[in-house]
A and B are shown apart, each in its own frame.
Chain A
């Protein structure tokens, strides 16, 4: 008896296309925390973020045939869905109504009008991993990862030549890797 607890990405994609709920459960187990952390950067309210996570996963399930493995990683595709979903929810009426009842929270108002206006990560408790990253690198990763800026936008925002954006992201990721290793 050997319970299968690991899928290769190909197996996982094939099983999800086949509407296999076990594969979906596996997908959730492996990606939910990363997506939750991701969503929380846009929606600081935990309860709302949970709803968003739930909606994002249902969307991933229902739209899975739209994922094209030849164009990118499954993770990248899921992050895009989570990003879009959280932006949608932030803009939704339900979220506005809820936020009215909360004390003024800068991040909410910074995020709602236009996600691309802020580069600060001034909300809920990021762990030592983030704080040990130099601001310069943190900003690059936040723009590219959480906010989904294009290379052009990053170039403008950071005031660096377009041709150096890739290497800048690369060094930031190297620093992040170092910070993650140090933490463990």
Chain B
């Protein structure tokens, strides 16, 4: 007989109701041990019967339970407090512990929230300070670069035999001005713009040295580079004067005299 047939035979109902013979009860117990679905069905039948009779029961006053527990109290085993705590969900101590736990949890959550907000604030402040710090570091680097540049330029200007030559604006740009630092001994030539019109994109300024009455190419320069810094040009021996002309990009072998912007004698 399979379990389904066994269940539907009604033997489980009579078993729970206590109407089985001892033999039948023994058989049911055996089947129950082997088949979980039979065990489950027995429990359901029991539950149904309990619900059925409980449905006609009024609420039972707590005093009934108290009376019973009082009556059996002397026969009951004394259970250690700790194990009572574990087993009785109704004990006042447990209730207190649960209430205390909940209270602590709430407090802890509030504290967490507060600390989290604080941490967020500090974190924001920190990132602001960090970015400020980065900016300062950048500025510092720029300043240092500028400083060392200035130091180098100063060192160049302080070199023995270094002459400074002021180039003045000619007809195309009377207000233009530039400086040439020329060392006759080492033949080094440095150039720095003070003021010069920005050329067209296809043009470039070219520095010339006048040696023995003839112009000698001393190199081209870019505006943005030589406006702020001293630019090293080609070495020239025996220069008597310096001039700047506007030439096609890359420079010319011979200067375009009509486009002479700057001129200065050593």
Contact = CB atoms under 8 A, between A and B. Distances in A.
B115 interface: no
A80 B76 CA distance: 23
Contacts of B89: 3, 5
B17 A169 contact: yes
Main secondary structure of the interface of A (DSSP, over half): helix
A129 interface: yes
Contacts of B8: 170
A32 B64 contact: yes
Interface string A131-145: 000000000010011
B18 A72 contact: yes
A22 B87 contact: yes
A183 to B, nearest CB: 8
B96 interface: no
Interface residues of B, number: 55
B55 A37 contact: yes
B9 interface: yes
A178 to B, nearest CB: 10
Interface string A46-78: 100010011001100110000000111101110
B14 A40 contact: no
Contact of A1 (B10, B67, B77, B97): B97
Most buried by A among B20, B51, B52: B52
Interface stretch (A23-31, A92-100, A103-111): A23-31
B44 to A, nearest CB: 7
A173 B47 CA distance: 11
Given A28-B65, A54-B67, A166-B11, A124 B56 contact: yes
A150 interface: yes
Contacts of B52: 37, 129-130, 141, 145, 176, 180
A103 B51 CA distance: 31
Contacts of A32: 60, 64-65
Given A22-B84, A130-B56, A169-B19, 12 more contacts: A3-B87, A19-B76, A33-B57, A36-B60, A50-B61, A72-B20, A79-B18, A129-B52, A141-B52, A144-B13, A165-B14, A180-B52
